[in-house]
Structure 1
Amino acid sequence: MDQAIRVLKKKMNREGMFREMKKRKFFEKPSERRRRKKAEAVRRLRKKLRRAVAAGLG
């Protein structure tokens, strides 16, 4: 029984279910959603650039 729960938790975590549930706990206005999505995109781009620079110098 415990092993089945652990497997389920691991699968849900991999698929991002816990993040999704946490995100949907409260209503997010469309403008806030756009702002958050844009900030996430900027964060991803900066991270990608940092990794590219680090790989180029390393």
Structure 2
Amino acid sequence: MEVYVSDDLEKAIKILKKKMALEGLYKEIKKRRHYEPPSVRNRLKKEEAERRRRKNMKKKRG
């Protein structure tokens, strides 16, 4: 990932952090920090889907 800023280093860092957040790199880095077996990955994926489903149901009710 490249960021082009002429002079200000702080501005370049700010832009880089924003781009990383928008692309989901922070989540990806956190997820890959430690190995998790496929069974754990699948379980977490199902739990996240269930959370999203409940949240959507809650929104629809009121």
Normalising to structure 1: TM-score of the pair? 0.89
**Shift, 1:27, TM fit:** 0.3
Give the RMSD, CA atoms, in angstroms: 0.6
Q: Which has the higher helix share?
A: 1
TM-score (norm 2): 0.84
Unaligned stretches of 5+ residues in structure 1:
none
Runs of 4+ in 1 over 4 A off after TM superposition: none
Higher relative contact order (CA 8 A, sep 6+): 2
Percent sequence identity is 48
* Corresponding pairs, count: 54
